[in-house]
Amino acid sequence: MAGNLTFDALKKKVVEGEIDTVLAVMVDMQGRLMGKRMVAKYFIDGAWEETHCCNYLLATDLEMATPDGYASTSWERGYGDYVMKPDLSTLRLIPWLEGTAMVLCDVLDHHSHEPVAHSPRAVLKHQLGRLEDMGMDAMMATELEFFIFAKSFDEIRAEGFRDLKPISAYNEDYHILQTTKEEHIMRRVRNELLGAGVPVEGSKGEAEAGQEELNIRYGAPMECADNHTIAKHGIKEIAWQQGHAVTFLPKWHQDRVGSASHVHQSLWRNGTPLFFDPDRPHGMSQTMARYVAGLIHYAPEFTYFLAPYINSYKRFQKGSFAPTGSAWSIDNRTAGFRLCGENTKAVRIECRIGGADMNPYLAMAAQLAAGLKGIEEKRELAPALKGDAYRAENTDHIPSNLRDAGDALNGSTMLREAMGDDVIDHYYRAATWEQEEFARVVTDYEVARGFERA
């Protein structure tokens, strides 16, 4: 399901006084929800057609700074407006906010009313259009890992983000007793996201103290990305309401495991799984083999869309369940790509590169682009890797830092052909800005290491 509220049902609830606020939101470059709280009566009277936002919202960093170097908007161009066009199919109730509904908006040019090409939903829609032209559709699912902390965002910020303490004391992977202690948050997360139209399957403890994983049912890529984004937002708000902080930072401490967002994917045609062929090894069709070969070949070029910040690359360490190479394997969690559902109609490929900080629209679009290119080029898939991928020889590696990933993105002919030069130039500037900002900061590590000994 997408949204769980029709426009007619919304109007009825507004008239009856059940809904008084509508969140009209768009998705920014970082995968966050930005927008307005509207009086519900105003929304149903006319704002459901369109509203507006400043175009700097698609040219900022995590701090909402306004870097130079973007072609789409700048101080010289005056920071004008974009149109936010509500997608009424995404209307939904928000159970954790009293009297509130939400609608996701597409972002359009203020003058032409054409989609803004670098807006995340537009980037994904473009790849889905290519897929449709090839007579196919896709199914995708993401897994969300995150940490819950004992204190609130405000308390942690006031203490300078020091001495962070997770909500639990030890590794809680699949641990029922330990996760019971977190049920005052996670029970609400599961049920209230479900009430918001997000088809949650369940949650579990992950492989570290205070780390949880949320699983959402697979669906069409746009629906999957919408669910992922709303879930991240909802988890933070629900935890905040309970006095706790949640982080999706991939690596919040060097001695703790990281937080990933694995992406499962398969291609279909008219309800038939195109990845399944019972007569081929592993039940893996030729189409799937070529798609996976494309993912592996182009992985260095799209890694930025799976790991967009300096911190993202701290997660890629040997023996951490986070990959360092782009090989594929069969049900092997040390590789960058894992074959799941071997010899069944549910056969699919899981990309394990992405961190919890990824923008799902961009991550899915980039993987679709690479997989489709592999099909077009009829790429041959190398044999599956066996054993420990961290020790494997002759295996291609993914970029180990943001600079290399940004350069690979910038130089990608495949992505420029698939997404357009303007889109790649836009996100390459985002990558270089992150590097510039980090380069000027003196870190605690540098001071502690060199204050006396340098």
Beta pairing, strands 100-109 & 21-27: parallel
Confidence at residue 75, expressed as pLDDT on a 0 to 100 scale: 80
- Report CA torsion sign: 153, 157, 161, 163: negative
Identify the H or E element spanning 120. helix 120-133
Confidence at residue 76, expressed as pLDDT on a 0 to 100 scale: 78
> Residue 36: phi, psi to the nearest 5?
-135, 150
CA angle 215, 218, 221 (to 5 degrees): 120
Residue 255, SS3? coil
Within its chain, how far is the Cα of 139 from the centroid?
15
- Report CA torsion sign: 22, 27, 33, 37: negative
**What is the value of pTM for the model shown?**
0.96
Two tokens, residue 245: 């902080």
Two tokens, residue 208: 């570290």
Confidence at residue 390, expressed as pLDDT on a 0 to 100 scale: 76
Strand partners, 348: 340
Confidence at residue 327, expressed as pLDDT on a 0 to 100 scale: 85
Spans of all domains in the chain: 7-116, 127-445
Identify the H or E element spanning 216. strand 211-216
pLDDT in tens, 66-93: 999 999 887 877 788 999 999 999 999 9
Query: In a 10 Å sphere around its CB, with 0-12 CB exposed, 13-18 middle and 19+ buried, how is residue 278 labelled?
Result: exposed
Instruction: Name residues whose C-beta falls within 8 Å of residue 96's C-beta, 6 or more positions apart in sequence.
Output: 188, 192, 234, 237, 238, 241
Within its chain, how far is the Cα of 192 from the centroid?
20
Regions in the chain scoring below 50 on pLDDT? 1
The Cα–Cα gap between 348 and 338 comes to 9
Query: In a 10 Å sphere around its CB, with 0-12 CB exposed, 13-18 middle and 19+ buried, how is residue 322 labelled?
Result: buried
127-445 maps to CATH 3.40.50.261 = no
Within its chain, how far is the Cα of 14 from the centroid?
32
Confidence at residue 1, expressed as pLDDT on a 0 to 100 scale: 45
The Cα–Cα gap between 377 and 342 comes to 25
Confidence at residue 389, expressed as pLDDT on a 0 to 100 scale: 66
- Report CA torsion sign: 291, 293, 296, 297: negative
Q: How many CB atoms lie within 10 A of CB 212?
A: 25
DSSP-derived secondary structure for 373-422: HHHHTTPPPPPPB-S-GGG-SS--B--SSHHHHHHHHHT-HHHHHHH-HH
- Report CA torsion sign: 79, 429, 351, 175: negative
Which among 359, 361, 340, 346 has a CA at the least distance from the CA of 419?
361
The Cα–Cα gap between 416 and 141 comes to 25
The Cα–Cα gap between 105 and 128 comes to 18
Residue type at 452 in one-letter notation: E
The Cα–Cα gap between 30 and 107 comes to 15
Instruction: Name residues whose C-beta falls within 8 Å of residue 429's C-beta, 6 or more positions apart in sequence.
Output: 67, 69, 70
Which among 367, 330, 337 has a CA at the least distance from the CA of 352?
337
Residue 312, SS3? helix
CATH superfamily of this structure's domain 7-116: Glutamine synthetase, N-terminal domain (3.10.20.70)
